[in-house]
Amino acid sequence: MKMAEAKLDQAYAYCQQLVQTHYENFPVASLLLPKRLRKPISVIYAFARTADDFADEGCEPQHVRLQQLDSFSHALTELATDNYQGDNPIFIALADVIQQFDLPIQLFEDLLSAFKQDVVKQRYANFDEVLDYCTRSANPVGRLLLHLNGTPNEKQLQQSDAVCTALQLINFYQDIVQDITEQDRIYIPTVELQLFGIDEQQLTASGSTNLAPLIRLQHNRARSFMAKGYELGLSIKGPIGWEVRAMTLGGIETLHLLHKQSDYNLLSRPRLSRLRLIKVMVFSMKKKWYRHIVSKRIQV
């Protein structure tokens, strides 16, 4: 029994270390969280981050990336039947988290389906296709967080989906150049590129104002999703509500930095400074402070 406990402790430590070594604009498993949730959230993050890296990082050919993601799907199937025999620390810890909190395994499968799609799909015909991707790439993470905190109601699930979709869109819009140059991937709908008379080469060319109407349309979309979901952080009590508000406000601040850039500079990637991150944490402490900043940034 002691050996099994030591192995589980090592698995959790691995996941927590992974969180600490990856930069994110949005706080992940921060000290705002109650201690009992820091480890499980780190495990969920480690699962998602590692699977996402299979799809996006390194130079492995397409079939190898899909095999790596399929191996995660196979491990999830084993977890679902209480039959995981592997030694991957992420799944050792994940088995414990799923059992403790009765998490829906389908949400993890949804994440994997999005990452597999990233391997094989580089263009999106319309915004409905982008939204479908968001429902699997981002929304499951928010739902898992809510399930860790208890049983969410339908309104909270919808608000969580709106915030997570917004966060995913913001990631797209801050990484336009990187996605094209590194992955040959464009999340701005093809039909809208055509509507605004923009060819793909222009999405990597700085110093032009031609992109402004198209890019600001995308920013406004992300803002509208935030407006639909930001009240989630006001409905959740305690430290977990603070964390949700901080994650939401971190996204809103990133979107604010994106949108305030000049028409000549809309493709540069903003990065939240340490001071701004501290402000995000502080303004998330009190619901009235949070509501005030949100109202200024997205005019709700």
Integer-rounded Cα Rg, in Å, for the chain is 19
With contact defined as beta carbons under 8 Å apart, do 131 and 165 qualify? Answer: yes
Question: Where exactly does CATH 1.10.600.10 map onto the chain?
Answer: 1-120, 122-300
- Report how far residue 274's alpha carbon sits from residue 293's, in angstroms, rounded to the nearest whole number: 18
Torsion from C-alpha of 249, 253, 259, 265, nearest 10 degrees: -150
In angstroms, what CA-CA distances link 72 with 48, 60, 90, 177, 293? 10, 17, 10, 29, 40
CATH number of 1-120: 1.10.600.10
Tokens, residue 135: 């429902």
- Report how far residue 69's alpha carbon sits from residue 113's, in angstroms, rounded to the nearest whole number: 9
User: For position 299, what pLDDT does the model report?
Assistant: 73
Q: Tell me: the pLDDT tens digits for 65-104?
A: 999 999 999 999 999 998 898 999 999 999 999 999 999 9
With contact defined as beta carbons under 8 Å apart, do 219 and 259 qualify? Answer: yes
Q: Tell me: the pLDDT tens digits for 34-54?
A: 788 889 999 999 999 999 999
Please provide the average confidence, as pLDDT, over all residues in the chain.
91
Q: Which amino acid is at 43?
A: V
Let me know how long the chain is.
Answer: 300
Tell which residue, 31, 46, 16, has the closest CA to residue 111: 46
| Fold entry, domain 122-300 | Farnesyl Diphosphate Synthase (1.10.600)
pTM for this model (two decimals) = 0.90
Long-range contacts of the stretch 187-195 (C-beta < 8 A, 24+): 187/124, 187/130, 187/133, 188/124, 188/214, 188/218, 189/124, 189/125, 189/126, 189/127, 189/129, 189/130, 190/123, 190/124, 190/125, 190/126, 191/125, 191/126, 192/126, 192/127, 192/217
Give the chain's residues under pLDDT 70.
1-3, 22-32, 300
- Report how far residue 103's alpha carbon sits from residue 232's, in angstroms, rounded to the nearest whole number: 20
User: For position 29, what pLDDT does the model report?
Assistant: 42
User: For position 34, what pLDDT does the model report?
Assistant: 77
In angstroms, what CA-CA distances link 183 with 55, 78, 218? 10, 31, 20
